[in-house]
Amino acid sequence: MGASLLVGLVVLGGFILFIVPGIIWAIKYSQVNYLIVDRNYEVMAAFKKSGEMTAGSKWQLFVFFLVLGLVNFLGLLCLGVGLFATIPTSAVAMAFVYRQLFHHAQASPIPAVAAGSRPTPIMPGPGGIQI
């Protein structure tokens, strides 16, 4: 619970400074609670690991969070009843993304990207699951 409060304060601080840092920090530290619950990380170690896991995937995660927000908004438009379906679906999708990010981070440390090359995406692609 303390880690959730700390993440909220960091993101709030980013939004107070300017909207963009708040969004970046929300994405960067989005995996903190999963690391604490799933892997029993200490709070500060979870912040560091979450930053490592999301490095190189922030744009994909940003789009993912936008889609989740849109799906939940559509559930809200269905007289709120749709939220009974969209919120659990969002939670499962977030857990899936956490597992993909964690296993990718464990499989290979973050490599240095050569000049002119693009890092391999680790998020599900339009053609299916991409690891």
Which of the two residues, 111 and 81, has the higher pLDDT score?
Answer: 81
Would you say residue 121 lies in a domain?
no
pLDDT of residue 114: 52
- 126 occurs within a structural domain: no
Q: 78 lies in which domain range?
A: 2-107
Domain count for the chain? 1
pLDDT surpassing 70 at residue 109: no
Does the pLDDT of residue 32 top 70, yes or no? yes
Q: What is the pLDDT of residue 131?
A: 46
pLDDT digits (tens, 9 = 90+) for 46-93: 999 999 999 989 999 999 999 999 999 999 999 889 999 999 999 999
Q: Which 3-state string (H, E, C) describes the chain? A: CHHHHHHHHHHHHHHHHCHHHHHHHHHHCCCHHHHHHHHCCCHHHHHHHHHHHHCCCHHHHHHHHHHHHHHHHHHHHCCCCCHHHHHHHHHHHHHHHHHHHHHHHHHCCCCCCCCCCCCCCCCCECCECCC
Examine residue 14 and state whether it is found in any structural domain, yes or no: yes
